[in-house]
Chains A and B, each alone.
Chain A
Amino acid sequence: MLEGEFHTYMLPEFIIERRQDRCIRCRVCERQCGFNVHWYDEEMDMMREDEMKCVGCQRCAVMCPTNALIVKPHPGSYKPNANWTRERLQDLKKQSETGGVLLTGSGNDKPYRIYWDHIVLNASQVTNPSIDPLREPMELRTFLGRKQDRLEFKFGEDFEDVEITTELYPNVQIETPIVFSAMSYGAISYQAFKSLAMAASEFGTLFNTGEGGLPKELRKYGKNAIVQCASGRFGVDPEYLNVAAVVEIKIGQGAKPGIGGHLPGEKVTMPISVTRMIPEGTDALSPAPQHDIYSIEDLSMLIYALKEATNYEKPVSVKIAAVHNAAAIASGMVRAGADIIALDGLRGGTGAAPKMIRDNVGIPIELALASVDQRLRDEGIRNKASILVAGGFRCSADVVKAIALGADAVYIGTPALVAMGCTLCQKCHTGICNWGICTQDPYLSRRLNPEIASKKLVNLLRAWSHEIKEMLGGMGINAIESLRGNRDHLRGVGLEDWELEVLGIKGAGE
């Protein structure tokens, strides 16, 4: 892929084994690969490949009708070295050939401790019956938004005849504590974006537009949309804000805390330019900070500007990357008027980020969540905002653990992409995606059928919800709110004292 003034010293990442006895020269692999790895050698009547270009996305292997292809990590290796790993050497060679910042896509792939894998769940035995979700109702309905400390009631003739007189803050009801993370139209294809919207609408949960606006014809999905107002303010108009369920101010992103975004002009096609309200072909630059927010009081002004613009009918979320002082920042955000705190952790995904930032900035979501939840409780304001967490959730057990630590609901990005076909090749930033997800090339994106992809997404939500119910029932709980912040049901395995302390959980056996 690296073409330039030098002959590249890079090693191929993947090797492609083609079982010639199976290959029927149908050239499917050639058509499927946007990176032009496969080509047909007419003279020899055989398929050949340029493995330097291969990203290991497995599209060809999956689509090959005779299963003739095996794509696997290239065995060619430098002398093993614990410090100077193959990845480090490759990065150095790449930079020496390009002189640029290393770019990458998807979430942090470095082996930071995944706390979810060091936390185990409880189950009922004897003194407390477990509940069978196949026989008993098991409730996952969740409300996002600010709650009141107390309600006032007005009674009629008796206590049965009652009305609540307290004025309520807007809340959004979702049927499972899982919502789709912010992925903008532009970062992902129209088809992928629409699939998320359709699935959220069908299942009764939310998708997040990201900062790329909401195409006019998709505004019918508005009541399932969290619309973002980010530093570039792309696509923000009164209708955009008012069709939404939630308005989210994006301050930061877990994959690239402190960094803005850059959608290259080549990706700003006509429909994207219309949606984002910028000229076709111009770079869409999202500044690192929001330039009208240099302080907490500035944030408050934007929160209330958005509340004014939406007649105080929608919860306003503020999304930050999980950083060292997340707890204090979150507390300030609640006091500034945020109805939802969205926290995006160290392992959060991205369509494009500088590799150094993605791999080295921010803190794990588990620790950020635990400290934010505790801080808001210490200050008596936990019920003033919902907590939405994002960044590396892989399965329903992670969701259950997050809710027990204190989250109201969980954002999932990567699992949704994987459900649609993504294989985490981490080449989102190239604009080429053989799965039709992270690309604006119509030849590639039209292979993603929203009817099919949205079904898969709904299946994913259904499967996780079933699993969450199983785990809840095992703990003797039949309503998700009884798990929220219920750290008694968690125990740590293989964690240091300070980690247990931050997580606010006991060690296993304690």
Chain B
Amino acid sequence: MRRSRRVVLPDKDHQACGLFGVIDRSGRRFSGEMAIEAMTSMKVRGNGLGGGFAAYGIYPEYEDYYALHVMFQNWDMEAKHRVDEFIDANFDVVYAEEIPVNPDANVYNPPLFWRYFVSPNKKGEDKKLSDDDYVVKKVMEINTGIENAYVVSSGKNMGVFKGVGFPEDIAEYFMLAEEYKGYMWTAHSRFPTNTPGWWGGAHPFCILDWTVVHNGEISSYGTNKRYLEMFGYYCTLLTDTEVMAYAVDLLMRKQGLPIEIVSKIFAPPMWDIVDIMDEKKKRFYTTLRMNYGPLLINGPWTIIVARHGEMFGITDRIRLRPITSGEKGDMLFVSSEESAIRAVCPELDRVYTPMGGEPVIGRLRSREKEIAKQLSEVE
């Protein structure tokens, strides 16, 4: 019998970071300026090797189409041709253009970025797939099959803009303050310790309209990664963030769990606490952890996960990485530091530091109503 294949353990990306997220729960759209200013105030949390933003609600004119942001390393036009052909063969393209940039921005060696607004053109076996699953599959095919091409963003009516540089430089390069208005923004500043920054490796990490920004190092990486492999997720980017993103995808998108449950999987309460709960809760938390133990995310981390209509911030079970939340009217902020929130909104109705594993959830008012309706229908 053939010897079993060697399990290649990749070098992991070690990093520390600054995070920020803001949502206007009324759905009002606003420019990227607020997120940029907040990130600028947390400059020391990054080292200029990566910054990025996710913006929701920025393409209302194409809101029914998947917006694929594609990065071409080294301005590889061969890769560009292959991606064009691939997209033509698999999607109906309603509009495509080079993403406008400001060449005077202080960034190093930027690659070429294009965006394609597409709808799936499923053929044969693929017809069985949902639109979302089809897009995920095709994105994976580009990312793994076409050298120097990398899809950094693939959701509808949203986009990720990221690269090597401080966040404010990246924002200037993509002209986020001037060009875009969204109802929700998340942002990331990166301090990688052992991998040279590359534009694709910056955060946010995105699949469909899901984005993840992350600060931390996961000590359960190997456990999480190998569990996710059983469900067909192969971590190729060598970052903890990727593990987080896949875990979110598996639990929230595929299994349909709400963040209120997922947060208890990622950062379950201590057994000491569970053991003194009432029987119903005790059974719930014990069963949840018994089954989803391999997706407990251990070590120091904070993440902000967003998708249309909602975002949430959460930190690890013993709060080894910072997270602060603030609210002012319809605005809800999540940040690594309170100072960043105060920098953009000095007067807050409420500021607090959540407990480990307690998610800070920012939902559109409209989404909240939808959920309440769904729950009452189940009743």
Q: A137-B271, A148-B291, A383-B294 are in contact. Are A488 and B12 (CB under 8 A)?
A: yes
Contact status A147-B290, CB under 8 Å:
yes
Contact status A127-B14, CB under 8 Å:
yes
- In Å, the complex CA distance between A487 and B260 comes to 30
Contact status B221-A476, CB under 8 Å:
no
Contact status B260-A160, CB under 8 Å:
yes
- In Å, the complex CA distance between A381 and B217 comes to 28
Contact status A380-B231, CB under 8 Å:
yes
Q: Which of A327, A486, A506 contacts B223 (CB 8 A)?
A: A486
A285 interfacial by beta-carbon distance below 8 Å: no
Q: Which residues of A contact B320 (CB under 8 A)?
A: 129
- In Å, the complex CA distance between A488 and B226 comes to 10
Contact status B16-A487, CB under 8 Å:
no
B318 interfacial by beta-carbon distance below 8 Å: yes
Q: Which residues of A contact B296 (CB under 8 A)?
A: 479, 481-482
Q: Which residues of A contact B270 (CB under 8 A)?
A: 137, 139
Best-buried of A158, A164, A478 by chain B (most CB within 10 Å): A478
Contact status B222-A485, CB under 8 Å:
yes
B293 interfacial by beta-carbon distance below 8 Å: yes
- In Å, the complex CA distance between A137 and B270 comes to 7
A155 interfacial by beta-carbon distance below 8 Å: yes
Q: Which residues of A contact B293 (CB under 8 A)?
A: 143, 479, 481, 484
A375 interfacial by beta-carbon distance below 8 Å: yes
- A42-50, A98-106, A494-502 - interface stretch: A494-502
Q: A147-B291, A482-B219 are in contact. Are A382 and B230 (CB under 8 A)?
A: yes
Q: For residue A503, which residue of chain B has the nearest CB?
A: B7
B3 interfacial by beta-carbon distance below 8 Å: yes
Q: For residue B320, which residue of chain A has the nearest CB?
A: A129
Q: Which residues of A contact B94 (CB under 8 A)?
A: none
Contact status B378-A154, CB under 8 Å:
yes
B193 interfacial by beta-carbon distance below 8 Å: yes
**A327 to nearest B CB, angstroms?**
7
User: How does the 8 Å CB contact mask read for A352-382 relative to B, with 1 for contact and 0 for none?
Assistant: 0000000000000000000100110110111
B287 interfacial by beta-carbon distance below 8 Å: yes
Interface size, B (range): 35 or more
Q: Which residues of A contact B236 (CB under 8 A)?
A: none
Chain B 259-314 interface residues, beta-carbon cutoff 8 Å to A: 260-261, 268, 270-272, 280, 283-284, 286-294, 296-300
- In Å, the complex CA distance between A374 and B16 comes to 31
Q: For residue B221, which residue of chain A has the nearest CB?
A: A488
Contact status B284-A477, CB under 8 Å:
no
- In Å, the complex CA distance between A124 and B5 comes to 29
Q: Which of B6, B280, B283 contacts A504 (CB 8 A)?
A: B6
A1 interfacial by beta-carbon distance below 8 Å: no
Q: Which residues of B contact A375 (CB under 8 A)?
A: 4
Q: Which residues of B contact A154 (CB under 8 A)?
A: 378
Chain A 147-180 interface residues, beta-carbon cutoff 8 Å to B: 147-151, 153-160, 162-164, 168, 171, 173
Best-buried of B6, B12, B16 by chain A (most CB within 10 Å): B6
Contact status A163-B230, CB under 8 Å:
no
Q: Which residues of A contact B227 (CB under 8 A)?
A: 382-383, 485
Q: Which of A153, A173, A478, A482 contacts B257 (CB 8 A)?
A: A153
Q: Which residues of B contact A163 (CB under 8 A)?
A: 280, 284
Contact status B16-A127, CB under 8 Å:
yes
- In Å, the complex CA distance between A157 and B5 comes to 49
**B197 to nearest A CB, angstroms?**
16
Contact status A482-B220, CB under 8 Å:
yes
Q: For residue A475, which residue of chain B has the nearest CB?
A: B219
Q: Which residues of A contact B292 (CB under 8 A)?
A: 151
- In Å, the complex CA distance between A498 and B6 comes to 8
Contact status A131-B14, CB under 8 Å:
no
Q: Which residues of A contact B283 (CB under 8 A)?
A: 164
A21 interfacial by beta-carbon distance below 8 Å: no
- In Å, the complex CA distance between A143 and B286 comes to 10
Q: Which residues of A contact B217 (CB under 8 A)?
A: 127-128, 476
A136 interfacial by beta-carbon distance below 8 Å: yes
B80 interfacial by beta-carbon distance below 8 Å: no
A19 interfacial by beta-carbon distance below 8 Å: no
- In Å, the complex CA distance between A162 and B284 comes to 8
**A230 to nearest B CB, angstroms?**
29
- In Å, the complex CA distance between A158 and B283 comes to 18
- In Å, the complex CA distance between A475 and B223 comes to 13
Q: Which residues of B contact A483 (CB under 8 A)?
A: 220, 223
B84 interfacial by beta-carbon distance below 8 Å: no
A55 interfacial by beta-carbon distance below 8 Å: no
A54 interfacial by beta-carbon distance below 8 Å: no
- In Å, the complex CA distance between A164 and B291 comes to 11
Q: For residue B5, which residue of chain A has the nearest CB?
A: A501
A489 interfacial by beta-carbon distance below 8 Å: yes
A141 interfacial by beta-carbon distance below 8 Å: yes
Measured CB to CB, the residues of A under 8 A from B are 124, 127-129, 131, 136-137, 139, 141, 143, 147-151, 153-160, 162-164, 168, 171, 173, 325, 327-328, 371, 374-375, 377-378, 380-383, 404, 475-479, 481-489, 498, 500-502, 504-506
Q: Would you list the 5 A-B pairs with minimal beta carbon distance, nearest first?
A: A482-B220, A159-B260, A481-B293, A488-B222, A486-B222
Show 15 residue pairs from A and B whose CB-CB distance is below 8 angstroms, ordered by the A residue: A137-B270, A148-B291, A153-B261, A381-B230, A382-B227, A476-B219, A476-B300, A477-B299, A479-B293, A479-B298, A485-B222, A487-B222, A488-B221, A489-B219, A501-B4
